[in-house]
């Protein structure tokens, strides 16, 4: 059976639909959530988006008049919505733990039917229907496939399409990652044909920087960047004090790890940012060099071969020293 049609049959039988995505929202999780929400609305189905934490400021424009209820600031309401749900979409994550402890408990306890639409490898078995495709560049592209393969391409418009375009452009590094395929561009063309103004999406997302954000990024590159040239590894460690000094707001370091990766001779980039006593790590790499093993083995994380994340309770300095020691075990010397 066509999985897209199977999903919509389940939607037709449901009255209380909740759309969830992973903690620390990014362009793909926000974009796929809003794209699905607006698509369901066009079909005549009401739903609600419940995320673990707030949307980053640089993506606020995407929401428009639509509401995203986050667990961190609305725990009671999200709990009620999750408990009353008869269908829960799990977008852009492959395990219940990715929504954070509070929401994870609600998700696991829920008797609702669950649908996973995701592109991360090694999915857990916690849903009723799984559309897991690690070979696809983004969850937003999978939502596009859901719309097209369910026979609802005629419903596409700028409202539905803009967040999906945003999800694809951000999760592919502006279409430069190897996960981009001819099919990706076919679907992008379809979005443009149906009213998506790609230049506006790009300008609102990438060309609208606060002064403090630019100063933080400049400081990180000029003062904090550490390069291990024999292994092609670049590290960017930022302490909580440094982030506070530049009036850090959620999303201010988005894409910074890719800037580090663009340095001549770099094959791996690692961004470390400290908040609330923990250090969040973002790993990126080029070509056949994998970073998800390092994230999974030592930093309670995982992800794609070339793009992964992790977290640790160690300090930034301790994390930096640990990575220095691990580099020879995970990466080969250049021109060895």
Q: Indicate which CATH number applies to the domain containing 265.
A: 3.10.310.30
Q: State whether 116 and 190 are in the same domain.
A: yes
Contact between 248 and 282 (Cβ < 8 Å) = no
Judge whether 305 and 290 are in contact, CB under 8 Å.
yes
* Residue 78 neighbours by CB under 8 Å, 6+ apart: 50, 69, 70, 71, 103, 106
DSSP structural state of residue 33: H
Task: Check whether residue 16 and residue 165 sit in a common domain.
Answer: yes
In a domain, 336, yes or no: no
Order of strands across the sheet that contains 129-132 = 68-70, 47-51, 17-21, 87-91, 113-118, 129-132
pLDDT at 95 (0 to 100): 93
Give the number of domains in the chain: 2
Same domain, 22 and 45: yes
The residue from 184, 206, 228 where one domain ends is 206
Whether residue 163 is contained in a domain is answered as: yes
Taking residues 42-47, what's their average pLDDT? 97
Is 335 among the domain residues? no
Q: In terms of residue numbers, what domain contains 307?
A: 211-330
First to last CA, the chain: 51
Question: Same structural domain for residues 197 and 225?
Answer: no
- How does DSSP assign 73-92, residue by residue? T-HHHHHHHHHH-SEEEEES
| DSSP code, position 57 | G
* Residue 256 and residue 202 share a domain: no
Residues 106, 37, single domain; the answer is yes
Q: Which two tokens stand for residue 117?
A: 């639409």
* CA–CA separation, 248 and 246 (whole Å): 5
Indicate whether 93 belongs to any domain: yes
Quick one: pLDDT at residue 1? 47
* Mean pLDDT, residues 294-321 taken together: 93
In the prediction, which pLDDT does 55 show?
Answer: 94
Residue 302 has pLDDT above 90, yes or no: no
Average pLDDT of the segment spanning 125-150: 96
Residue 120's domain is classified under what CATH number? 3.90.1640.10
C-beta of residue 78 within 8 angstroms of C-beta of residue 71: yes
Looking at the structure, do residues 196 and 218 belong to the same domain, yes or no? no
Average pLDDT, the chain: 95
**Percentage of the chain lying above the pLDDT 90 cut:** 88
Distance CA 205, CA 60 (A): 9
Report the alpha-carbon distance of residue 202 to residue 224 in Å, rounded. 28
Domain boundary among the residues 191, 206, 221 is at 206
Among 177, 206, 235, the domain boundary falls at 206
Residue 20: name the closest of 132, 103, 137 by CA: 103
Give the span between the Cα atoms of 74 and 113, in whole angstroms: 23
Binning pLDDT at 50, 70 and 90, where does residue 334 land? confident
Q: Give 171-177 contacts, CB < 8 A, sequence gap 24+.
A: 171/26, 171/27, 171/28, 171/137, 171/138, 171/139, 171/140, 172/137, 172/138, 173/258, 177/137, 177/306, 177/307
Predicted confidence (pLDDT) per residue in 100-132, tens digit:
989 999 999 999 999 999 999 889 999 999 999
């Amino acid at each position: 059976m066509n999985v897209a049609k199977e999903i919509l049959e389940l939607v037709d039988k449901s009255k209380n639909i909740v759309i969830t995505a992973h903690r620390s929202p990014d362009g793909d999780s926000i974009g796929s959530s809003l794209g699905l929400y607006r698509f369901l609305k066009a079909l005549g189905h009401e739903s609600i988006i419940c995320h673990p934490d707030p949307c980053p400021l640089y993506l606020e424009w995407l929401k428009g008049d639509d509401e995203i209820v986050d667990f961190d600031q609305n725990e009671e309401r999200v709990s009620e919505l999750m408990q009353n749900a008869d269908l829960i979409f799990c977008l852009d994550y492959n395990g219940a733990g990715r929504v954070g402890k509070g929401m994870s408990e609600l998700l696991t306890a829920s008797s609702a039917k669950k649908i996973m639409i995701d592109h991360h490898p090694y999915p857990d078995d916690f849903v009723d229907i799984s559309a897991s495709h690690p070979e696809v560049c983004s969850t937003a592209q999978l939502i596009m496939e859901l719309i097209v393969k369910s026979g609802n391409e005629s419903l596409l418009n700028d409202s539905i399409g803009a967040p999906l375009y945003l999800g694809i452009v951000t999760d592919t590094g502006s279409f430069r990652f190897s996960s981009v395929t001819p099919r990706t561009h076919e679907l992008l063309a379809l979005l443009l044909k149906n009213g998506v103004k790609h230049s506006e999406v790009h300008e609102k997302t990438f060309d609208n920087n606060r002064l403090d954000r630019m100063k933080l990024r400049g400081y990180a590159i000029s003062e904090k960047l550490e390069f291990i040239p024999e292994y092609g590894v670049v590290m960017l460690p930022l302490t909580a004090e440094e982030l506070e000094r530049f009036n850090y707001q959620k999303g201010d370091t988005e894409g910074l790890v890719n800037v580090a990766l663009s340095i001549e001779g770099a094959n791996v980039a690692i961004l470390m940012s400290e908040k609330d006593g923990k250090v969040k790590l973002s790993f990126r790499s080029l070509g056949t060099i994998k970073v998800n093993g390092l994230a999974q083995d030592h930093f309670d994380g995982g992800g794609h071969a070339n793009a992964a994340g992790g977290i640790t309770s160690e300090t930034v300095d301790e994390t930096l020293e640990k990575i220095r020691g691990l580099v020879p075990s995970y990466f080969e010397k250049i021109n060895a």
